[in-house]
Amino acid sequence: MCDETKLAQWASGTISRRGFGALGGAGLAAACAPMANSGLGMGNASNALREQGVSFRTADGTLDGFFVHPGDRATPGVVFWPDIAGLRDAKRDMARRLAAQGYAVLVVNPYYRDVAGERFSDFAAFVENDGFQAVKPWRAKLDAAAIMRDATSAIAWLDGQDAVDSERGIGTQGYCMGGPFTIWTSAAVPGRVGAAASFHGGGLVRPDSQTSPHRMLKSRTDYLIAIAQDDDKENPEAKTTLREVASARGVDAEIEVYSGDHGWTVPDSPAYDEAAAERAWSNLLQLYTTSL
């Protein structure tokens, strides 16, 4: 998972800021590109997207985020949980790409309890500015109970938007620290969340916690749990535990180790792997097409 040791390696010069920029540029181009002839999503991709910054009240304050959706019809809503670097252009572009396939996407600022809006322009800025230490006290507040409160508010807000088809299921996807948030989201509003996807999620199996994500899988939600190969190497038992729990509970869950390191799906990450990221993208669209 994304920890201080890995961030220190990135910051030490293993990958320079120029390298970050090159990776981010190529990755963002891929993230913005339509999925040609995919056969997935809700029909033809729409170029007429509408987007805006939004905010609304939760039990803990005023949550802010980025909302993007097709401008010509109501579509299923998606709660999008960013990685540790938070709300930024890489995540907005990923949301735009998904919206173009026929979804109304809310990218949440996970740190709204402490700061509003974008704090780091990209992952390189996060590393260079000792982002891990900056977000550490903010992230400490994001336990299962807090995320479930946020998820309940976010889904209620989505259901109140004309751009959202509230007769369809809600999707949720998360990256890095946002991976567990997707499972907590499905547990918070199990009657609404039809699909949840975790990409290189950290801490999906926490043996000493009663609110560990693996203990909160719900049979009314379909899951895609995409595990990074280096995370699997560090904790190979996690996938087995997830599979065993899903099987015992009758949960439809695709749990797989991908040929990419932690962060491989995120365009401005030094671990971005376009081929593996595109495979994860296709599987996400298939999940949403089937389950929402």
pLDDT score at 6 = 60
- Give the tens place of pLDDT for each residue, 145-191: 999 999 999 999 999 999 999 999 999 999 999 999 999 999 999 88
Q: How does pLDDT run along the chain (292 residues), one tens digit per residue? A: 555 556 555 544 444 443 444 444 444 444 444 443 344 444 444 459 999 999 999 999 999 999 999 999 999 999 999 999 999 999 999 999 999 999 999 999 999 999 999 999 999 999 999 999 999 999 999 999 999 999 999 999 999 999 999 999 999 999 999 999 999 999 999 889 999 999 999 999 999 999 999 999 999 999 999 999 999 999 999 999 999 999 999 999 999 999 999 999 999 999 999 999 999 999 999 999 999 9
- Asked if residue 171 lies in contact with residue 194, where contact means CB atoms within 8 angstroms, the answer is yes
Whole-prediction pTM: 0.89
Q: How many CA atoms lie within 13 A of 213 on its CB side?
A: 27
Q: The CATH number of 4-291 is which of 3.40.50.1820, 3.40.50.300, 3.40.190.10, 2.40.50.140?
A: 3.40.50.1820
- Estimate to the nearest angstrom the gap between the alpha carbon of 258 and the chain centroid: 16
- Measure the CA dihedral 241/247/248/250, to 10°: 140
The span from the CA of 281 to the CA of 72, in Å, is 24
Q: What percent of the chain has pLDDT over 90?
A: 83
